[in-house]
Amino acid sequence: MDEPPIAYSVVRNTGFCRVLRGRPRQEPYPCSECGRTVRLGSILQQIRTEDDPPGDAVAVEAGPEWVASKRLASMLVETDPSCADCHELTGPDGAPIPYVQVIIHDTMRAGPHSIRGGSSCPACGGWAQLNLDPFHIVSPPRAPAVACLLESRALVLVRSDVVARLQAAHLDVGFIPAVCDSE
């Protein structure tokens, strides 16, 4: 008997920030499959939040980066210490703030039912417009605790057991259930 697929949810960001200072993670490069220029974003150093307080999960204006409260980030890393790198941030005045940039290592793919435009690429993700209602993902070959979406690295997916831990901690973050599709 086949086991049911592992359930995932997309983290619903509760705040928004602008990058004031950062440095490239890697220089842009052409994808070997589709030729598209791939930009992995920046290592952020200084941000300004647009909401006060911004909540525990913060979207970055026009970028693939993701910012989280130190509490949320530590809970994710406790689940799997190799899942992400966290980088300290400062606010507009240069003082440390209780948020970190989270660079997630594992990626997952959007399911074909959620791609409503653009072009998909198995190597770099391509450029795709996504439908999040409902949101479909391709069932992963293994079940990482935390992953970002290859087509949009700013979308963070968490496994159902991690969602339960985060909800029990009463963090200011929401979740959008994802539907797993087979490839």
Report if residue 82 sits inside a domain.
yes
Q: What is the pTM of this model?
A: 0.89
Residue 126 lies in a domain: yes
169 is a domain residue: yes
Question: 48 is in which domain, residue-wise?
Answer: 8-181
* Residue-wise pLDDT tens digits, 14-72: 999 999 999 988 889 999 999 999 888 899 999 999 888 889 999 998 778 999 999 99
Bond into 134 cis (ω within 30): yes
List CB contacts of 90: < 8 A, sequence separation 6 or more: 45, 46, 47, 96, 97
Provide the domain count of the chain: 1
Please check whether residue 3 lies inside any domain of the structure: no
> Does some domain include residue 159?
yes
